Structure 1
Amino acid sequence: MARGMDVRSLEDLLFVSHRTQHILTLFSGGLDSTYLLHKLSSLGCKVTALAVDVGEGIDHAELSRITGFFGVTLKQVDGCSTFVEQAVLPALQSNAQYLGMYPISSSLSRPIIAQIAVETAHKLGCGAILHTANQSQNSLRRLNGAIKQLGFTGFSGSPYEYSALTREEKIAELNAIGLGGFQSRSMSGDANLWVREYESGKLDNPEDFCITEDIYSWTSTSHPRVCDEMEIEFRGGRPLSLNGQVLPLQELIHKANYLAGSFQIGRYSGLEHLEGGEKVFEVREAPAASVLMLAYRTLETAVLDADLIREKITLEQLWVREAVEGRWFSPLKASIDAFIQQTSKAINGKVRLKLSTGSAQLAAIQASSALYLTDRDGWEKETAQERASRSLADMHGAHVPQPVRKLQGVA
């Protein structure tokens, strides 16, 4: 083993299999997780492949085809509701954007997946939790960090941390044992209900990359535009309705993705740092996140004191840092959560946005307990009169000093 209970290479798998009878591995049905099943299937211990849905859906037939090939147990868990309540809603209230540039994604989903994995491992009596993140994926430290912070004491980690194989090498080995269907892709992707993310392949080099329309899903130009306005209502910091229709939060986000996405709103691209400081280029689409965060911030400015907003903005980036660096369950993040949850109680009202290609513009604000003026001229007159009256009253009621008189007999 590389260190303690950490799994870091394919060679570590044999060591682990001799010390636990049941291994749980995260499984997406992609090449990396399938290749790991191939390696585990020859070790002689029980393996359960865990597929967690965080909003993108699960191809049951394909996952069953692959796990059936290796004689591995498939367990599917719908984690979307947990993801929305425990990750997306706090991220919305925290305006969770990487360096203020774009909505964070796997920083939100990985801790929830890890939480479900730890719960499942305890229920099944698994002595190891494996995943397939590698050195160039920030999911490596996010999954590793979350699993350890949740107190899992068995073996955990990714054998791809120290063992690097090309896609072609993995595909060739799987083809050789009769499992096909894995073709080289021009890039890789990760998706949940909040953000779709694309990287690698033709996006590898920030100095020479190619973004084509066909990579987009929610913001595809082929989607019909249903309406060019969105009205979002919040109650206690929680999105309540969309265009007058009260919806469960999960459904509201799904609908907002396609309403705003049809206008190509929420496309982002930029660099993100790895653990060692290197930068990797990524492309995202997050239409619902884009409009909901805009609406939320608008209501914040309407009802919160300016100094409170300034302090919250500072804490927002601390919140993002803890999430990005794999410290989702840290005491610092829990403390910031408490602060932000307190401010969210005042976020009540509606925001109307006007949609156009690539842009959502503020059209109206209607906030409860608002601090904004609705009649500026009237306020000017009333305030001037009030302050003038107060000044005059102060002047008339003020003590007027009398001349100092000399006492008799005193020079």
Structure 2
Amino acid sequence: MKIVVAYSGGLDTSVLLKWLKEKYNAEIIAYCADVGQAEELDGLEAKALATGASKCFIGDLKEDFATNYIFPMIQANALYEGRYLLGTSIARPCISKDMVDLAIREGADAIAHGATGKGNDQVRFELAVNALAPNIKVIAPWRDPEFRQQFPGRTEMIAYAESHGIPIRQSLKKPYSMDRNLLHISFEAGMLEDTWYDGTTPADREMYKLSVSPEDAPDQAEYIQLLYEKGNVIGIQYDGLDVLLKELGVNPKGERDGYTLLSPLGVMYVLNALGGKHGIGRVDIVENRFVGMKSRGIYETPGGTILLAAHRDIETITIDREVQKVRDSLIPEYATLVYNGFWFAPEREAIQALVTKSQETVNGEVRLKLYKGNVMYAGRRSPQSLYSEEIATMEGGHEELYNQNDAEGFIHLNGLRLKQFSRVNKPYGN
């Protein structure tokens, strides 16, 4: 038997890799997707082979993740339950697709993942496999009674890893889990399961990786300008950008009208750096998991927070009111589909087609002010702006564009049904 294991090098996947090899007497192929974990991938292949894998593949999905998953989701202005930027949720279909492709190439019989039986990721992962490769078997050790009996909690997993010589990051003192990608970092479990615990002790503040606290952010605000084309950021203008790009190792794609053109990946690197510098994008929420329970999570999403704010702002002058109304009416459902794991479902793809169509006119520039955890709007303009100062002005003139006398008939017609309802149903209507 040959099993491809979703492998991150963390506690859960390291233990289950060894456990699957022993239980199924199988050849184990470790797979890790590089969706922006940064230093977490150092030494991963050697660790996987030492733990028992015959091969280890690391898929570089960063550009794919930014271009084909993050940016389309931001075009939709998707927020789950009005607060969560879906950082973990949107990474799962990207990872799943590449892992399925590997399993097919390697002739694997099954795919295994380390998502627990209480979480959302088991659903997201398996729904993606169902949609992409329905004939491939999925093994979920956390739903195996034998596995759960042996590992009722992280304490036993840590002991198992130590007894088998598997290096791990977690400890009994700080057992929270961390999931990092290009869009965010999430923190769950351990002391964070107490919803009243605020995580503000000096030791716990070290948990954060992508951002400083707003209190420690610079006292001087900074401005950034973003250039949009069809709803996507394609260029950035910022004092000191050349230096920042060198520090990040990002190569620009060219110049246009004073903007440095960047790929979606380059945009995410820059916005993450600037957002983190100014303490932007930290949220502490209790959300409703798809499997039915509530869950507390702490998230850092610096670049994504800036990206969402800017996109909302450029749309205020470039998207038709009724088009936006139709699009926005579908976005709560869209966000729920992403959260619940239905990225490859036909209904999500249908909504995405509408979103893509709505973005054809979303072109122009946005200026933002970054300051101590806040993203403030400081200007927007577009060659396709639907805002007309001549129409909107409170000064006189331009009666040919908007005749105020026309409002009387407009109000009369819109008030007709209200008058009739009042006449029939309200005692004071007559």
TM-score, normalised relative to structure 2: 0.81
Number of equivalences: 371
Q: CA separation in 2, counterparts of 1:207 and 1:26?
A: 33
Equivalences for residues 85-124 of structure 1 within 5 A: 85-124=67-106
1:45 aligns with 2:26: yes
Whether contact under 8 Å (1:219, 1:264) holds in the other structure is yes
Q: CA separation in 2, counterparts of 1:386 and 1:155?
A: 64
- Paired position in structure 1 for 2:292: 277
Q: CA separation in 2, counterparts of 1:387 and 1:146?
A: 52
Equivalences for residues 186-335 of structure 1 within 5 A: 186-211=175-200, 212-221=204-213, 228-243=222-237, 244-335=259-350
Q: Which of the residues 109, 128, 133 maps onto 2:110?
A: 128
Superposed displacement of residue 44, structure 1: 2.7
Q: Secondary structure at the match of 1:114?
A: helix
Superposed displacement of residue 56, structure 1: 1.4
Match of 1:28, as an amino acid? Answer: S
Q: CA separation in 2, counterparts of 1:389 and 1:260?
A: 45
Question: Please, which runs of 5 or more residues in structure 2 have no aligned partner?
Answer: 238-258, 407-430
Deviates more, 1:51-60 or 1:361-370: 51-60
Higher helix share: 2
- Paired position in structure 1 for 2:11: 31
- Paired position in structure 1 for 2:133: 151
Whether contact under 8 Å (2:66, 2:268) holds in the other structure is no
Q: Secondary structure at the match of 1:384?
A: coil
Q: CA separation in 2, counterparts of 1:90 and 1:225?
A: 34
Q: CA separation in 1, counterparts of 2:128 and 2:340?
A: 10
- Paired position in structure 1 for 2:397: 382
Match of 2:128, as an amino acid? Answer: A
CA deviations on 1:56-105 (whole Å, 9 max, x unpaired) are: 13524244134224253111111112211221011110111111213111
Superposed displacement of residue 286, structure 1: 0.8
Match of 2:7, as an amino acid? Answer: F
Whether contact under 8 Å (2:220, 2:371) holds in the other structure is no
Whether contact under 8 Å (2:14, 2:166) holds in the other structure is no
Superposed displacement of residue 361, structure 1: 0.9
Q: CA separation in 2, counterparts of 1:386 and 1:301?
A: 21
Q: CA separation in 2, counterparts of 1:209 and 1:271?
A: 13
Q: CA separation in 2, counterparts of 1:316 and 1:383?
A: 38
- Paired position in structure 2 for 1:172: 159
Q: Computing the radius of gyration over CA atoms, which structure comes out larger, 1 or 2?
A: 1
CA deviations on 1:147-182 (whole Å, 9 max, x unpaired) are: 111123121031112443211211212222333445
CA deviations on 1:246-290 (whole Å, 9 max, x unpaired) are: 111101111111112211111111112223321000011111111
- Paired position in structure 1 for 2:65: 83
1:55 aligns with 2:36: yes
- Paired position in structure 1 for 2:362: 347
Question: Please, which runs of 5 or more residues in structure 1 have no aligned partner?
Answer: 1-20, 392-411
Whether contact under 8 Å (2:27, 2:53) holds in the other structure is no
Q: Secondary structure at the match of 1:329?
A: coil
Q: CA separation in 1, counterparts of 2:183 and 2:116?
A: 23
Q: Secondary structure at the match of 2:396?
A: helix
Q: CA separation in 2, counterparts of 1:339 and 1:377?
A: 29
Deviates more, 1:207-216 or 1:348-357: 207-216
Superposed displacement of residue 227, structure 1: 6.5
Q: CA separation in 1, counterparts of 2:205 and 2:165?
A: 34
Q: Secondary structure at the match of 2:43?
A: helix
C-alpha spacing 1:107/1:303, structure 2 compared with 1 (3 Å): same
Match of 1:108, as an amino acid? Answer: I
Whether contact under 8 Å (1:304, 1:346) holds in the other structure is yes
C-alpha spacing 1:179/1:236, structure 2 compared with 1 (3 Å): closer
TM-score, normalised relative to structure 1: 0.84
Match of 2:9, as an amino acid? Answer: G
C-alpha spacing 1:55/1:377, structure 2 compared with 1 (3 Å): closer
Q: Identity across aligned pairs (percent)?
A: 25
Superposed displacement of residue 378, structure 1: 5.6
CA deviations on 1:356-385 (whole Å, 9 max, x unpaired) are: 111111111111211113356767533336
C-alpha spacing 1:149/1:234, structure 2 compared with 1 (3 Å): same
- Paired position in structure 2 for 1:138: 120
